[in-house]
Amino acid sequence: MLSVYLYIPNVIGYLRVLMNCVAFGVCFSNKRLFSVLYFLRFVSTFGAVLDMVTDSVLVELLLLCRPGMIFLLLLALDIASHWFQMYSTFLSGKVSHKDVKDSTSWLFKLYYGYRPFMAYCCVACEVLYIALFLLAEKNSENLTDVLVSSVKRCSALSFLLVVSLFGWTIKQAVNVIQMKTAADVCVLYDIAKKA
């Protein structure tokens, strides 16, 4: 039993959680250190040990750093779409939540079927949130003001913000498609169960 807790990918996961706790502990007092720690935990486990739950929680925490209804709605969409997708995967007997071969959405199939594209969208989403966090002069600054002032600055961070906007948009669209598709699976399961 102890060997499971000390399994190397699990130990890396524990380190990621610890690094994230430290990052969010300094997020308002030292934005640069926060950004370095945030991305260090992402890059260090890219690939084989990328943990969906840990990553989702981190994005949600990052969204909570920005006040406003839009960020709360994005937070709810991200959590709900992933929850529905995981649950519908369980109901349909699939091995992975990324198995969307039977989907009618070309975007959904492209997202989960072409891993480099999915990686770009996921990283772009996190880069956008980090860039917004770093570009805001004060934590209560209006999102529109942050976007307008960042485009005027023409800095490297502004460039990252603009480049990541496409991937972020795709990821939000996929979240909506994912939630709708997974909700349909749950409804069809209920109908079949009652019949």
Which residues are known catalytic residues? 55
Q: Give 176-180 contacts, CB < 8 A, sequence gap 24+.
A: 176/77, 176/81, 177/105, 177/107, 177/108, 178/81, 178/82, 178/84, 178/85, 178/108, 179/77, 179/80, 179/81, 179/84, 179/85
Token reading at 72: 């709360």
Separation between Cα atoms, residue 72 and residue 85, nearest integer Å: 20
Judged by DSSP in three states, 17 sits in helix
Instruction: Please provide residue 5's backbone torsions phi and psi, each rounded to the nearest 5 degrees.
Output: -65, -30
Burial class (CB in 10 A: 0-12, 13-18, 19+), 46: exposed
What is the DSSP track for 73-114?
Answer: HHHHHHHHHHHHHHHHHHHHT-S-TT--TT-S-HHHHHHHH-
User: Which residue do the tokens 């023409």 mark?
Assistant: 154
